[in-house]
A and B are shown apart, each in its own frame.
Chain A
Amino acid sequence: MGTTDISKITEKSPWQDITPGNQIYAAGTSREFKTGEWRTQTPVWDKEKCKQCLLCVPVCPDSSIPVKNCERLEFDYDHCKGCGICAKVCPFDSINMKEGQ
């Protein structure tokens, strides 16, 4: 019972196809889980005001501020839960929280 190819398991799968104990036979699958859907407030990044100090990056509890070549990029809204810590920590008022997704 249960398939080892978890990509075949969906919310429509019958119980016989669910792996015993919901075991997932793959690694790093939490990135597939779009926790950004939970967000009720959304951080908005103002690139003009941002000095790239990167203080927001390590305080994000969901690793939702990607960094490339020592510069932060746009938020990963698939996983940002909208906690607002980045907005609080920003010394340059370049992150503001707006209501909703």
Chain B
Amino acid sequence: MAIRERFSGNEAVALAIKQINPDVMPAFPITPSTEIPQYVANYIANGKMDTEFIPVESEHSSMSATVGASAAGARALTATSSCGMALMWEELYVAASNRLPLALALVNRALSGPININCDHSDSMGARDTGWLQIYAESNQEAYDNMIQAFRISEHKDVMLPIMICQDGFITSHAVMNIELLEDNVVKDFVGEYEPEHYLLDSAQPIAIGPYAVSNYYMETKMGQRTAMKNAKQVILDVAKEFEAISGRHYGFFEEYQLEDAEYAVLIIGSAAGTCKDAIDQLRAQGKKVGLLKLRVFRPFPAEEIAAAVAHVKALAIMDRSDSFSGNGGPLGAEVSQALYNAHSDVKTVNYIYGLGGRDIRVEDFEDIYSRLERIAETGEVTDQFDYIGLRK
């Protein structure tokens, strides 16, 4: 029987971690960390779970310790946010290239500077090329559900890559929402025991992890990583299917909302999708054919699937909650545009930047975006390709 509760996103993900009961959780215990390690530490102190919690002196150390624990053969994860993730940078690459199936519960917040503690995606988007799987959530429910699916994807023998479970700072970390939880034993059965094939503490088979790879080996190693990332696509869908069987909740690479017959569409990641859905409901009531593609899986990037899903729209707004400062839009804009180009799509696109440093995006903003798309489709002219939404001018 599903359990109905009211939880903040931090509480929801911490509960998922309690239900998973991993072997090791190293984490930096104060800002810029989140409440997630705090709740987990409470569960451990109260005897509700038996994870080894390691309070470390920095995020550089928390990711290093997670890498070490995973290499030793443990199911390990850590949690952080914003600048904490920036301090993990070196180890993010080490985790991925060593093919360690560990997890990171990431609350997306802006990077300094200027100093800011609010939501945007510049932390995880900056890490988009580290070789990690990245899954994003619209709601507390989705953050909880994604965390429960995390290790099944990451530990799959065809994948063996670290996974980042992302949720929006404050919006889906602190705000309290209604949520449907799974029972402990259901989660336990779903996640299963971690039985690594090779690990450092296996005395019967001594191994070395993370050796020096000269030029003659480096590219071949990277091809292995790329292939694992590609393999993850099918694994993500398979795990989602199994998850649906225990939860009744359906997941894929993305969610399509009123997209099937839409003429104008928005493509977005994270909590702002909920606001966009409200705008869609209002505009649909006025007879406007508007829709949404909410991207859940950013790594691996489902390029062909996205191109196919939006092939029929007249104009598409690709919404980035971080700026690449390339003078050429944001990361999602660049990758979706490439996907459309490679699919020989003639969909007109704009790439808008919104919500930086926690700037609100409102229903009216989305209504304005849809009317801009209508104008672009009518005139064929794109005059504001990389606009900032909600900027004072």
- Residues on A close to B: CB < 8 A? 1-2, 11, 13-15, 18, 20-27, 29, 33
Which chain B residues numbered 139 to 166 have a C-beta less than 8 Å away from chain A?
Answer: 160
Q: How far is the CB of A32 from chain B (nearest CB, A)?
A: 11
Does B116 sit at the interface, judged by CB under 8 A?
no
Q: Shortest Cβ distance from B209 into chain A, in angstroms?
A: 6
Q: Which of B100-142 contact A (CB under 8 A)?
A: 100
Query: Contacting B224 at CB < 8 Å: which of A20, A24, A26, A29?
Result: A20
- Bound CA–CA A1/B209 (angstroms): 17
Once the chains bind, are B207 and A21 in contact (CB under 8 Å)? no
Evaluate contact between A1 and B205: CB separation under 8 angstroms: no
Q: Tell whether A23 pairs with B160 under 8 Å between CB atoms, given A11-B216, A15-B220, A15-B223.
A: no
B211 touches A20 (CB 8 A): no
Binary interface encoding of chain B residues 191-225 relative to chain A, with 1 for a CB under 8 A from any of its CBs, else 0: 00000001000000111111111001101110110
Given known pairs A14-B220, A15-B223, A18-B217, the reply for A23 and B228 (CB within 8 Å) is: no
Residues of B within 8 A of A29 (CB): 208, 211
Report whether B206 and A26 are in contact in the complex, using a CB–CB cutoff of 8 Å.
yes
The chain A residue sitting closest to B231, CB to CB, is A1
In contact, A24 and B211 (Cβ under 8 angstroms):
yes
Contact indicator B220/A18 (Cβ below 8 Å): yes
Instruction: Find out whether the CB atom of A18 lies under 8 angstroms from the CB atom of B208.
Output: no
Bound CA span A54–B227, Å: 52
Pick 19 A–B contacts, CB within 8 A, sort by A: A1-B227, A2-B224, A11-B217, A14-B220, A20-B99, A20-B224, A20-B228, A21-B100, A21-B210, A21-B224, A22-B97, A22-B98, A22-B221, A23-B98, A25-B198, A25-B207, A26-B206, A26-B207, A29-B211
A14 CA / B219 CA spacing, docked (Å): 10
Complex: A14 Cα to B198 Cα, angstroms: 22
B208 touches A21 (CB 8 A): no
Min C-beta distance of A34 to chain B, whole Å: 12
Closest 4 CB pairs of A and B: A27-B206, A21-B99, A15-B220, A11-B216
Complex interface: chain B residues within 8 A of A22 (CB): 97-98, 210-211, 213, 217, 221
Which of B's residues lie within 8 Å of A, judged by CB? 97-100, 160, 198, 205-213, 216-217, 219-221, 223-224, 227-228
Give the residue of A2, A15, A21 whose beta carbon is less than 8 angstroms from that of B97: A21
Task: Say yes or no: B224 contacts A1, CB within 8 Å.
Answer: yes
Contacts of B212 in A (CB 8 A): 33
**A25/B210 in contact, CB under 8 A:** no
Q: Which residue of A lies closest to B99 (CB)?
A: A21
Please measure, in the bound complex, the distance between the C-alpha atom of A57 and the C-alpha atom of B227, giving whole angstroms.
47
4 further A-B contacts with Cβ under 8 Å, apart from A18-B224, A22-B97, A25-B205, are: A2-B224, A20-B160, A23-B207, A26-B206
Q: Are B206 and A18 interface neighbours, CB within 8 A?
A: no
| A27 and B224 form a contact (CB under 8 A) | no
Q: Across the two chains, which residue of chain B brings its CB closest to A12?
A: B216
Most chain B Cβ neighbours within 10 Å, of A1, A11, A22? A22
CA of A13 to CA of B205, assembled, Å: 23
Give chain B nearest CB distance to A79 CB in angstroms: 14
Contacts of B228 in A (CB 8 A): 20
Q: Cβ of A1: which chain B residues have Cβ within 8 Å of it? A: 224, 227
Specify which chain B residues have a CB less than 8 angstroms from the CB of A2 in the assembled complex: 224
Q: Find chain B residues with CB under 8 A from A23 CB.
A: 98-99, 198, 207-209
Given A26-B206, A27-B208, the answer on whether A21 and B217 have CB atoms closer than 8 Å is no
Task: Give the CA-CA distance A22 to B213 in the complex, in Å.
Answer: 8
Query: In the complex, are the beta carbons of B224 and A13 less than 8 A apart?
Result: no
